[in-house]
Structure 1
């Protein structure tokens, strides 16, 4: 279904505007949990001039102790240094920009699948870019997996076109290296390379996919393939987040959107479609190979929209081409319902100002961070684990121990002897999932011991205590709560030098 150039331009301009609007939040500051950890690492690059956690080339990819996949940190820090704009503002601009980029990476992948259908390409781009999964990771929040998810459709486009020209192989190598340095979720891309090899077998053997026997058996082969791969975790116990009987449909509906049932129609259509294209076979094989990970909801709920969005697009196109009355109206209502569903989670569901442990930084925390930055030259410490991370991100150059081993190492609150660690072989699973070596979480222990006064704070230049007053004098960490001896000492030694109700700052003697 072809559209005029004018219609295409208007549709994509409207989609860009919609994506921008969906990313303007009712909060005035950065959002997220992991985002603040990435923010802190970007701060350290800007402050020290290099990444102190890179102790080996493997550290760039998060495959070495006290390291993390590093691409996003360098991007954010570089943009901040080049423009002179504070990192929080850079994060906002960056996330809106990659949100818009998601429109075009989804379009490119859809174009590789069905190049002649402009409506399909637009629907796929709209569903992908406005899905709750993509919106969550591209709204003033920088978990590094967000960039990986958005660039993966571009990599899949290159993989599909590598059969036409070897020049794409070089681009695949560059982008794959970058994505590996972005997040370990790159491992989910690997089945795509295997899908390409399998899809090429009929071509290499000059086997015609239009063979009548193949056409009759193909749906049964695909169904058996899905069933086998789906059942693997039941027998092996692998690839499971919790229980293999968890209602996984809830999580995927929440992050893909309410149109996810249409993807089943698209999937069935592709399986039973005669004369499958090479690209359609590639898409089906990708889905089959990813099926064992369907129970790994922690990661798959973010990754699966890459493949579900085209299937929803196929389902909607088939509905638009059907003989139903008012089918255009039905398709329009379905697309609108998808946007409304995403908008609900963007603006209404996630934010509760009465809960101080929510996923956004409060105005009081932001004000406190800037006051510390302008008025305190020594290091500081807090009694709240998540609050401490947000303060450290906001203050930028004022150091404090947190529950993160990497942060404590970077800022000199903990020393690490690498010779004490257990080395894992590169062909072991632990190498890829445990940052290369066995490592005890020294961050939690160090932060706890500072608060319990088992370590002398002043030896590390810590002269101020930042109290989250809603914790009522307790430590808030690791889902536990108990009194902070250091805070109790601060109560008895001096008056607060800063007090805005939600936060107090005490001078330690």
Structure 2
């Protein structure tokens, strides 16, 4: 099963090389530009992360998004030929992930670019570029930066685009102040303008910005090569950057998670220590189990099948403890019909989730510590490599019944 998933996802990752190459070709039909864009995009840590072991809809979405941009721009030249493919891909992205909402600004940018292309502006290119830059800065400072911190933005975007993201600033400045800007370059500027207020939503922006970052980085690299006096030296320097970039991507994807002695709270898979703890839990516990590690929670549940006090409502149908609920059909005119599905499940697990988070943040010493007793929690599973406040000062009153170095299990019977 794991091998089949790996082969299918890697094939999808390789396909991203071709989709990004097509996208780059319709933006700038330059061999170096197309090659660098495809290389940056397909080997970026974000694409590798989502197309190796992560069977996520986001991975497929990001692989197909450049192809959608390709057909969308091609639609301008041959409406009858490409309108069918554009619509089909839009429907495909619509069915793949909720990120499809971000395709809408891309489509709007395309039609705005067509509209602007047909309007003659009587102003200097430099003045217009300054106005655009001021608008970008205003949207970024007033909307994006309010949602997060600048250092978090830099770290997250660097983590997912890689070392070559360093060239995106130069690429952005070059097309912003370009005198004879092409339609495709105006399209990129407009898409960035739409997305700038969303930069602060790092959880999603770090993914949907990848195609734009690859294009901007390619502009930056190509411009540096063109203005360099010694082209041969410039190519060698770029080759070094590409090798370093691929090395960093490989490190984040494979090496970082396999360093001996590395203290890591959550690996990308269920480790042997997790499986052993789950098997012990299955064999020796018959009452409610709690852990304040969300990932560990789901993995122990998957391998043990015991009754878990979880932070996610998804576990309750698995355990058969969903309780009374009603299923109703949402209206096709409701936005939730398309965002969360046609069916609405009404149940009371939200309160249980709230209690889980209270115990997670405050522990037994906190104001809500007695809730563990009220819910008859008998066992606590602790990730020894993560910081936890659950036991707090009560640690001397409980019995440790299992410990394999990474995970320990505590019996709470002496507390209640």
Which TM-score band applies after superposition, normalised by the shorter structure? 0.7 to 0.9
Query: Is the 1:226–1:291 Cα contact (8 Å) retained in structure 2?
Result: no
In the TM superposition, residue 309 of structure 1 has moved relative to its aligned partner by: 0.7
Q: Which residue among 132, 147, 164 is the counterpart of 1:241?
A: 147
* Corresponding position of 2:101: 187
Instruction: Give CA deviations for 1:386-436 in whole Å, capped at 9, x if unaligned.
Output: 3121233456x777553211221354222364599xx9x9479xx969998
Paired with 1:278 and 1:126, the residues of 2 have a C-alpha distance of 24
* Count of aligned residue pairs for this structure pair: 390
In the TM superposition, residue 193 of structure 1 has moved relative to its aligned partner by: 0.8
Query: Is the 2:136–2:196 Cα contact (8 Å) retained in structure 1?
Result: yes
Q: Which residue among 408, 412, 419 is the counterpart of 2:316?
A: 408
Paired with 1:265 and 1:222, the residues of 2 have a C-alpha distance of 14
* Corresponding position of 1:137: 50
Query: Is the 2:291–2:309 Cα contact (8 Å) retained in structure 1?
Result: no
Q: Which residue among 159, 169, 174 is the counterpart of 1:269?
A: 174
* Corresponding position of 2:18: 104
Instruction: Give CA deviations for 1:248-277 in whole Å, capped at 9, x if unaligned.
Output: 334323322223232222223223334433
Query: Is the 1:160–1:196 Cα contact (8 Å) retained in structure 2?
Result: yes
Query: Is the 1:381–1:400 Cα contact (8 Å) retained in structure 2?
Result: yes
Normalization by structure 1: what TM-score?
A: 0.62
Pick which of 314-323 and 118-127 moved more: 314-323
Paired with 1:89 and 1:372, the residues of 2 have a C-alpha distance of 28
Instruction: Give CA deviations for 1:453-483 in whole Å, capped at 9, x if unaligned.
Output: 53468xxxxxx96845749xxxx99x64138
Q: Which residue among 147, 168, 191 is the counterpart of 2:60?
A: 147
5+ residue gaps in structure 2? 360-368
Paired with 2:344 and 2:197, the residues of 1 have a C-alpha distance of 25
Q: 1:159 to 1:436 in 2, by over 3 A?
A: farther
Q: Which residue among 353, 374, 378 is the counterpart of 1:454?
A: 374
Query: Is the 1:405–1:441 Cα contact (8 Å) retained in structure 2?
Result: yes
Q: Which residue among 387, 391, 409 is the counterpart of 2:296?
A: 387
Normalization by structure 2: what TM-score?
A: 0.74
> What SS does the aligned partner of 1:355 have?
coil
* Corresponding position of 2:241: 334
Paired with 2:345 and 2:135, the residues of 1 have a C-alpha distance of 34
5+ residue gaps in structure 1? 1-84, 458-463
Paired with 1:96 and 1:405, the residues of 2 have a C-alpha distance of 31
* Corresponding position of 1:126: 39
Instruction: Give CA deviations for 1:315-368 in whole Å, capped at 9, x if unaligned.
Output: 222223334222222221222222233234334445665535233332222455
Instruction: Give CA deviations for 1:176-209 in whole Å, capped at 9, x if unaligned.
Output: 3443343333322221011111111156x4x5xx
Paired with 1:257 and 1:102, the residues of 2 have a C-alpha distance of 16
In the TM superposition, residue 90 of structure 1 has moved relative to its aligned partner by: 4.1
> What SS does the aligned partner of 2:71 have?
helix
Paired with 1:157 and 1:415, the residues of 2 have a C-alpha distance of 49
Query: Is the 1:466–1:503 Cα contact (8 Å) retained in structure 2?
Result: no
Paired with 1:442 and 1:151, the residues of 2 have a C-alpha distance of 39
> What SS does the aligned partner of 2:390 have?
strand
Q: Which residue among 139, 150, 153 is the counterpart of 1:232?
A: 139
Give runs of aligned pairs for residues 1-400 of structure 1, distance below 5 A: 85=1, 88-115=2-29, 117-163=30-76, 164-166=78-80, 168-202=82-116, 205=118, 217-232=124-139, 234-235=141-142, 240-243=146-149, 248-325=153-230, 326-349=233-256, 353-355=261-263, 357-360=265-268, 361-367=270-276, 381-385=289-293, 386-394=295-303, 400=308
Q: 1:501 to 1:168 in 2, by over 3 A?
A: same
